[in-house]
Structure formats: C-alpha cells, structure tokens
Amino acid sequence: MDNLFDIKGKVALITGGSRGIGEMIAEGFVKQGVKTYISSRKQEQCDNTALRLSKFGQCISIPADLTQINEIQNLFSTINKNEKKLHILVNNAGAAWGADFDNFPENGWDKVMDTNVKSIFFLTQKFVKLLEKSGTNSDPSRVINVGSIDGIGIPRAETYSYPASKAAVHQLTRVLANRLAERNININAIAPGPFQSQMMNETLKKYEKEIINSVPRKRIGVPEDMAGAAIFLSSKASAYITGIVLPVDGGSLIARRHMV
C-alpha cells in the first residue's frame, strides 16, 4: 500500500506539454521522479518549459507538429533511440476554434479535428510497441487522453468542432481500451473542467466570476488537481481501471445537469 501511487522511475511522453494542462501534468510527473518528455509545436516555448521543469528532475523537450504524420514519426524515432520502454503516453495536444454557426470555417473544423483526434490515434499507434514493452498484467502501461467536459455537456461558447472532437476523444478512448487491454495497456481519459490555461484565458477574463459561481466547488482548477488525476491514472492504484472518462471539474457537470 505504501507504493500504491508511486510512479518514480517511469518514462512518460506528454504532448502539448509546454503549457496549460500538459504543463501541469508534466510538472507533477517530474516532481514524482518520472523521466518526462514534452512535445509541442512551438520550439522556444517547449524548450523553456523543459528547462524550468529540469530544476525538479528529468524533462526533455522534443518539439513537433502532431497534425503531421512525418513529425509523429520523427518524435517516435527520437524517443525510440533513447528509451527501451515507454510507461506513460499523455495525449494532451489540443486546439480550439471559435466562430458563430453561420460563419464557422472548414479550416477551423479540420485544424481542431486533426490536432485533437487524429493525432491521438496515430501517436498511440506509433508508440504501441514501446508501451507494450513496459506493461505487465499487474501493472499495465498507460495512455491518458485529455478530453473535456465540453465533450460530455453542452458548452456556452460557439466552438462547434471542439466539443465534437472531445466527444470523439472519449469514445476513441473506450474503443482503444477495449482493443489494447490484452496487450497490457490501460487507456483512460481525463475530462477537465475550468482550469487556468491559455485556451481559457479570454473566457476567464470575461466570465471568471460567473464560471466560479457555476462550479459547485466554487473555484477554478489548480495544477495539483490535474497532476493528481494523472498520477492516479499512471500508478498501481489504477491498474484495474481502463476505458473510463474521469471528469476533473469541481462538479461542473452535475451542476449543468441540475440546471437542465
């Protein structure tokens, strides 16, 4: 029982790990003794975050645009050269696009779907052999997909491709969990509610009080909330859990249902 939440010594890759939700998870992993690779599209930001987190442990930057299959291959090749196993893959890289219904553009739809859904499938496909090498029947390797409560409930904002993509992430999580369980890989999703992140910045500037009042816990999520959920889903404590979508939202979803 003393080691139930211990993830020290594992190797993880976190996409979109340079900021927001990904950075929260990365910091939690690094401080728990996980060798953590982070990837994001912007090299300078990725390098700076890795440099900051390296003060607490091992954090390595590998920038990549994960909407491009060749860059997924390059990311895999780099990690495969340096690691014999991958214990944890966190598919967090995400995008959103806001526009009113009558003017919502095709490129806004495609960018969000490619980043939020397509990249998850092909990253998992590419890294499955490394994940298999680390997984056992008693302690499987882990894939954590970052969805959203907007993929469960109905969002306020006009971001049509975003909630559709996150609902797809949740269903893809279940499908892959069923397919890969026999290969000793657990696949679960986290569905964040309101957290302080670049994606939420403008919304929080305009509606922070209203959002806080709508959350039963009466606050915005903090990094420890997200790190704690990811550590749980990566540890022996969750070895018998696969195919779930875990809301980390302060009760936002139950409040929405109550209002309906």
CA distance 141 to 239: 9
Name the token pair of 23: 């950075």
240 catalytically annotated: no
Torsion angles phi and psi, residue 89, rounded to 5: -120, 120
DSSP of the chain: -TTTT--TT-EEEEETTTSHHHHHHHHHHHHTT-EEEEE-S-HHHHHHHHHHHTTTS-EEE----TTSHHHHHHHHHHHHHH-S---EEEE---------GGG--HHHHHHHHIIIIIHHHHHHHHHHHHHHHH--SSS-EEEEEE--GGGTS--SS--THHHHHHHHHHHHHHHHHHHHGGGTEEEEEEEE-SB-SGGGHHHHHHHHHHHHHHSTT-S-B-HHHHHHHHHHHHSGGGTT--S-EEEESTTHHHHHHHH-
**Best CA proximity match to 90, nearest among 45, 42, 39:** 39
Catalytic residue among 37, 162, 207, 240: 162
**Best CA proximity match to 122, nearest among 140, 106, 151, 145:** 145
For the annotated catalytic residues, the residue numbers are 162
